[in-house]
Structure 1
Amino acid sequence: MAPEQVLSPAADGRPHEHDDEGYTGPATLTVDGTSVEVRVRLLSQTEPHDGQVHWFGRVDREAELSALLGGKAADVLVVTPRGRAEGRVGDVDLWDRYRLTGVGIPPFPLDEPPAPDTD
């Protein structure tokens, strides 16, 4: 399914997007009281093994975040224009992008589940 563009653009002029399963756009990550403006790409899914929503993705390369974390994992508050959630950053890839994960309500709205079929 194609992403649905949200009307307000990011500070860099790029729109943020929301689709059935995720969010791509601007976010503020707060680690130990220090806030960093970043761009994230996040997805979510309900895991059958525990019945909870797990959200996950990557933070685009951001020098300020890299300097703050120094390659280490940390608990983080994630705030997007559409929501907020506590998560964890860590697992830096070869392109200096941090993995971002959380369990529970993600920092972006979820679509309503389909209505049950009626006969």
Structure 2
Amino acid sequence: MRFRRTRRATEPREELTDPEPAPDYSGPALLDAPGAEVAVRVALTGHLDPTDGQFHWYGRISEDGGAELPEPGRGQVFLTVPGGAPAPGVLQERDPWGNLRITGIGAPPFPL
């Protein structure tokens, strides 16, 4: 009969890593959509795509105040964080909690 070695209770466990990276920017922003400017809260991140050589940024937008978020798929929008330049993006979809996903290609609205 063979026995397998099992982990003892005194041996340290492997550290779990967060599967989703922390956002590069999280905080207030201004969403300039066709027909509306809305103060929002965002959590944004991005990466340089080696295939096309461009920076792809993306994240979630939630309401900040009482203004209602615009509907996704209405063309190009601009997102501006405090102290940053407006960055063009597209509203992709609404999640079950009412937040919006935004994506953009090029210079992000947050500092790198």
Scaled by the length of structure 1, what TM-score is found?
A: 0.66
Identity value in percent: 40
Does residue 82 (structure 1) correspond to residue 83 (structure 2)? The answer is yes
CA-atom RMSD in angstroms: 2.0
Q: Could you tell me whether the CA contact under 8 Å between 2:23 and 2:43 is conserved in 1?
A: no
How many residue pairs get matched?
88
Distance in 1 (alpha carbons) for counterparts of 2:53 and 2:110: 19
Deviations 1:70-110 (Å, cap 9, x if unpaired)? xx323211011131201111211111110011000000111
Amino acid in the other structure paired with 1:64:
A
Moved over 2 A (4+): 61-66
- The higher radius of gyration belongs to 2
- The residue that corresponds to 1:28 in the other structure is 30
Deviations 1:30-56 (Å, cap 9, x if unpaired)? 111410000000001101111100000
- The residue that corresponds to 2:68 in the other structure is 65
| Greater helix proportion | 1
Amino acid in the other structure paired with 2:79:
V
Shift of 1:21: 6.3
Decide which moves more: 38-47 or 79-88: 79-88
Structure 2 spans left out of the alignment, 5+ residues: 1-21
| Greater strand proportion | 1
Amino acid in the other structure paired with 2:100:
Y
Q: Could you tell me whether the CA contact under 8 Å between 2:58 and 2:104 is conserved in 1?
A: yes
- The residue that corresponds to 1:48 in the other structure is 50
